[in-house]
Chains A and B, each alone.
Chain A
Amino acid sequence: MSRRHILAAVVLIACCLPGLALGGTTGSHTVNITLQEIAELDCIGSPSTLVLSNASTTPGSLPPPATDATTSLSWTSCVASGNTRKITVALDANYPAGIVLRATVAKPAGSNGTSAGQQTLSNTATDMLTGITGEACTGATVTFEASLSSSVAPVASESRIVTWTLTAEQ
């Protein structure tokens, strides 16, 4: 085949297929949105000193409990489908025998969790709110109650650090 023949063939194809573009009429791209796990917890406020006083004690009985509800919790949780979280509480150290600190976390609006009700605090983590799914909640009131379970020698002050944790539920 001569060069003239090849040239003629190319011209013919060029006439038959204007543009000669092999690109398609459809294109695409992907969109990837990754939603990460989120576990954010804030403790707002701090209880004032809970005083167990003999001033209002009936003779023969222990001093009445002292309560405080000036602390609240806020949290944001994002979990994988089917997973849940819980809020636990622990003291840095136990109180001396006879002194009891209890707490209740009220379930706020918008939470899917379940309050465990009033629990006694210790240096072991205690579940306070369970079944937390993907949610953003504020204003969960914490009510502390200090009391005596038996007669104790007077103490000037017993301070403890209360640690709240938002953690995966097993």
Chain B
Amino acid sequence: MKRPFLLAGSILAFAAAFGVSWDAWAISMSVSGGWTRTIGAFDLQGGAGTDLNSTYESAADAVLVSVTDTSAGWRVDIKKQDSTWHASLGLSARRTSSGTGGSVAGGASYQQVTDTYATFFTGSQAVSDINVQLQVSGVSVSIPRAAYDTTVYYTVTEL
């Protein structure tokens, strides 16, 4: 009967050797989707002499967040990390659905996404396909013509 323990120990040692922490085997999350928006002359408020509309929204289901492998309460934090971004541009996110499964609370109103993690919404038990909508603000023709990219990070923490 030593062989089963040997085999199990080997697999666990393999997992540890490849950096799989014990936390990673507990609650987990998946994020899919994203948002690409092109802003041009067709977005002017009223033709020549007017500025661009200042805010733009993604589709309500631009991003899908799922929290899995938990029967406990949890919290999702959000932040962004800029690649090429302009200081005048603001990015906000809000939750537009509660997904399916457990329960979700908070995050239903737009909140600014900054460079540091902040609580986005909370929930309990596994929930799949929570819709997230994004909004960019502060758009103006005074911002140089360019492609502006940022990465939005979500982290789930079991409570």
CA distance A79 to B143 in the complex (A): 8
Inter-subunit contact A136/B49 (CB<8 Å): yes
> Which residues in B have their C-beta under 8 angstroms from that of A51?
none
> Which residues in A have their C-beta under 8 angstroms from that of B59?
none
| Cβ-closest chain B residue relative to A44 | B49
> Which residues in A have their C-beta under 8 angstroms from that of B91?
31
**1/0 contact string of B12-40 vs chain A (CB within 8 Å):** 10000000100111111111111111111
CA distance A64 to B153 in the complex (A): 71
Inter-subunit contact A25/B11 (CB<8 Å): no
CA distance A41 to B44 in the complex (A): 12
Counting chain A residues whose Cβ lies within 8 A of the other chain, the interface size class is 35 or more
Shortest CB distance B3–A (Å): 5
> Which residues in A have their C-beta under 8 angstroms from that of B34?
29-32
Q: Which residues of B contact A (CB under 8 A)?
A: 1, 3-5, 7-8, 11-12, 20, 23-41, 44, 47-52, 56, 63, 65, 68-69, 80, 89, 91, 134, 136, 139-157
Q: Which residues of A contact B (CB under 8 A)?
A: 1, 5-6, 8-9, 12-13, 16-38, 40-42, 74-81, 133-138
